[in-house]
Amino acid sequence: MLAISAHRLHSPITTVDGPLVLVDDGRIVEIASREDRSVPPGAQRLDLPHAVLAPAFIDLHIHGGARFDCMEDDAKALPAIETLLAQHGVGSYFPTTVTAPLDKTLGALERLADAIETCVDTRTSNRARPLGIHLEGPFLSHLRRGIHPTSDLLPPTLDTFERLWQAARGNIKILTIAPELEGAAELIAEATRRGVVISLGHTDADLATSRRAVELGARHATHTFNAMRPLGHRDPGILGEVLTDSRLSADIIADGIHLDPSIVKLFLEAKGLNNSVLITDATSATGMPDGRYRLGSLEVEVANGMCLLDGKLAGSVLTMDRAVRNVMKFAGWDLQRSLRLATLNPATVSGFNSTKGELKVGADADFVVLDQEGTVLQTIIGGVVN
């Protein structure tokens, strides 16, 4: 048994001052106050007298890091990415594809499925764990494709989705799709039936089409404002639906580059504490010096914190801990509220909130240890302390 004490615990719904958290077999078995509970005899102790204990972060949208891409066929790729993620407080993540030739995507999905299924039976103390695949493309708008290659975009058909689904062995958990495409409505309904989270993104959809997608099962929006029809006061388009419909959660890239800080604050006021989610959209360049790096089958240029391809933003080098601190800075939110956007909310969106995103009895023992300003001091995954 592991006994962790800290200055404060942010759950993030509740706060406990002077907490004592007991962990056994990778799960939280008790949360109490040090004043009311003594450390059980023989327990391993971890005392963090000046630190904040919070749930480890969850990233719904990440392409890579530490010079590796989630889609590449290299045995060193995912371990390197997962190690970097854990260094920045992330305990769980959804490896995200980028539009590529179909055969390359199918191969990548098979490898990612292997990693997800293997991870269920293994416990590592210093690496984030993949929970499922986020399929970003190939069912995207040509007009709002961003840097996704035009030649590899495909119309949304049930046959193509079935090939992707079979390659991933059912491990596709999130699907970004442009709802205005012919065939999208049928695919949204079928993928929703299979338990996939439908996220609206890379889209030029109007308001009516967006609302129809929600009626069919869409429940989330991908990197809101980016790669979307701009908001108009007479023709609000998809953003009118995303920002006003409480059935939709939505995520943002809060790096100060993809969105002006004032827009981050506006987004948070519109979607509120429950429906706002932070993502990184991080690429292989994350944690690396300026230079040229891979994004799927593409090559991007990174300089001064920006990832570019032909002058267009191409992912980010953002880390989740910095995204949390940016919310505190841009919107004036306190640490506890900001943490929710990287913990409980993404866990709820992805359907893992029974075991992830919150510190409670029965939850996975995935913790991030922070100072009062939100800087990561340590990450504990599966209750294993190095």
Structure tokens at 78: 């995912």
Query: Has 114 been annotated as catalytic?
Result: no
For 291-304, what is the mean pLDDT? 92
- Residues 168-216 have pLDDT tens digits of 999 999 999 999 999 999 999 999 999 999 999 999 999 999 999 999 9
**Res. 125 pLDDT band, cuts 50 70 90:** low
Q: What are the DSSP calls for 249-300, one per residue?
A: EEEEE-SSSSS-HHHHHHHHHHHHHHHEEEE--B-TTTTS-SEEEEETTEEE
Tens digit of each residue's pLDDT (9 = 90 or more) over 300-341: 999 999 999 999 999 999 999 999 999 999 999 999 999 999
Is residue 143 classed as helix, strand or coil in its secondary structure?
coil
Q: How many separate helices (H) and strands (E) can be counted in the chain?
A: 10, 22
Query: How confident is the prediction for the chain on average, in pLDDT?
Result: 96
Question: What CATH class does 57-356 carry?
Answer: alpha beta
Q: What secondary structure does DSSP assign to 38-78, as a single string?
A: PPPTT-EEEEEEEEEEEEPEEEEEE-EETTEETTS--TTHH
Asked whether the beta carbons of 21 and 53 are under 8 A apart, the reply is: yes
Confidence (pLDDT) at 119:
79
N- to C-terminal Cα distance for the chain?
Answer: 15
Confidence (pLDDT) at 124: 59
Peptide bond into 55 cis (omega under 30): no
The CATH architecture to which 1-55+357-386 belongs is Roll (2.30)
pLDDT tens for 343-371 read 999 999 999 999 999 999 999 999 999 99
Percentage of residues in the chain with pLDDT exceeding 70? 98
Instruction: Write down the pLDDT at residue 373.
Output: 96
The predicted model scores a pTM of 0.97
Q: Which residues are paired to 380 by β-bridges? A: 367
Q: What is the mean pLDDT of residues 264-291?
A: 97
Distance, CA of 226 to CA of 245 (rounded, Å): 18
pLDDT attached to residue 126: 87
pLDDT digits (tens, 9 = 90+) for 203-245: 999 999 999 999 999 999 999 999 999 999 999 999 999 999 9
pLDDT recorded at residue 182: 98
Where in the sequence of the chain do the CATH 2.30.40.10 domains occur?
1-55+357-386
Residue 123: which pLDDT band, with cuts at 50, 70 and 90? low
**pLDDT digit string (tens) for 27-74?**
999 999 998 999 999 999 999 999 999 999 999 999 999 999 999 999
For the record, the structure tokens of 42 come out as 């023989």
Written as one string, the DSSP assignment of 180-194 is TSTTHHHHHHHHHHT
- Active-site annotation holder among 204, 255, 281, 364: 281
The mean pLDDT value for 246-268 works out to 98
In the chain, CATH 3.20.20.140 covers 57-356
